[in-house]
Structure 1
Amino acid sequence: MRRLLLLCLVFAAATARAELPETDWLQLMPKADQEALERMPEIDHDSPEAQGTFTEKGGMKQAKGLPAVMYSTKTVPAMNGKDIRIGGYPVPLESDAKGNSTLFFLVPYPGACIHVPPPPPNQLILVRYPKGLKLADIYTPLWVTGKVKVEKVSNDLADAAYALDAQKVRVVKESDL
């Protein structure tokens, strides 16, 4: 009996340390939006679509005239309240007194707001992380773990269809790949 209890405790400890499986960004997008993105023409740096609309505050809002899917706030209701682990890149919004990022958008690819239009709102996640994380730059890939919510967020910088209260944020290591 004692051996069985010890075995159960070891298993419970190992399970607690195990990370959630990776959530793919496309899981946040309804199938109809996925299909619309697949049909969309390529956006390159020289096209009119590449000229994102930057506000006086340096925002990354979508430019007018893009296909409707690029503005989509349609979500996947089954994702609401789900614990996930997702990889992405930060767009810092707020920092604490130590300079650690406590509020940021997570985007699926690096430089999402610099040379091409930002992802659709249903491919942006507002991450709240009160513990804060020191970020070297926006090209630092992160793993973010926490409970995702269907929550429409709009500010001067961007619109997001999801928010996540992060329990854990860490930089992706080469051993993760």
Structure 2
Amino acid sequence: MRRTLLACSLALLTTLAHAGQAEPPETDWLQLMPPSDRKALEEMPDIVHNTPEAAGTFTKKGGLKQNDKKLPPVMYSTKTVAELAGKQIRLGGYPVPLANDAKGRVTEFFLVPYPGACIHVPPPPPNQIVLVRYPKGLKIGDIYNPLWVTGTLKVETVSNDMADAAYAMDDAKVRAVQDSDL
């Protein structure tokens, strides 16, 4: 009986502590990669940016898709971290708009770890791209302004003409990063 009361008290205190938090703590992008991918990324040779896309001249389809087949395998990795599936996270990143509603609000976008990922070469690996489905819609004036996205992370492979992603979030909370957040 005493153990049951103690367990219930601890559960209540934990619930109250989390109820006071408006958002979960920030998840680092590298936490979305399994340790083997993080190690491979750290050991990867420098990437050469002397492709037509690097100068802003796009000669082939692709967007965020990884087209340079000479890159190390980690740059194509869809390996995920199973423990993150179904976990409530807060991730800071930059939007790559995919779909808009009739009012011009973005309802679906890829969240990426650095600004301009849709034009930089090479793009992030799929396990560093999260598809965010946001039916409420969001006005995005500048893709170089970072966002906080809070929600339940799903391990879901998504592939379209723009990119391959290894994670997704539905009905997340999305807000602009404020100076007070930094």
Q: Same fold (TM over 0.5)?
A: yes
Residues 31 and 17 from structure 1, CA distance in 2 versus in 1: closer, same or farther, beyond 3 angstroms? closer
Q: 2:53–2:120: 8 Å Cα contact kept in structure 1?
A: no
Q: CA deviation at 1:59?
A: 2.6
What is the aligned partner in structure 1 of residue 158 from structure 2? 153
In the alignment, what sits opposite 2:4?
none
- Tell me, in whole angstroms, the C-alpha distance in 1 between the residues paired with 2:100 and 2:111: 15
Aligned residues, how many? Answer: 166
Question: Partners of 2:59 and 2:122 in 1: how far apart?
Answer: 8
* 1:110 positional shift: 0.4
1:26-105 maps to which residues of 2 (within 5 A)? 26-46=30-50, 54-55=60-61, 59-63=63-67, 64-105=69-110
Identity of aligned residues (%): 69
Deviation at 1:99, TM superposition (A): 0.7
- Once the two structures are superposed, the pairs formed by residues 14-29 of structure 1 within 5 Å of their partners are 15-16=19-20, 18-29=22-33
Structure 1 residue runs without a partner (length 5+)? 1-7
Tell me the TM-score normalised to structure 2 length: 0.83
TM-score, normalization by structure 1: 0.85
Matches of 1:160 and 1:31 in 2, distance apart?
A: 18
The answer to whether residue 113 in structure 2 is matched with residue 108 in structure 1 is yes
Distance 1:50 1:67 in 2: 19
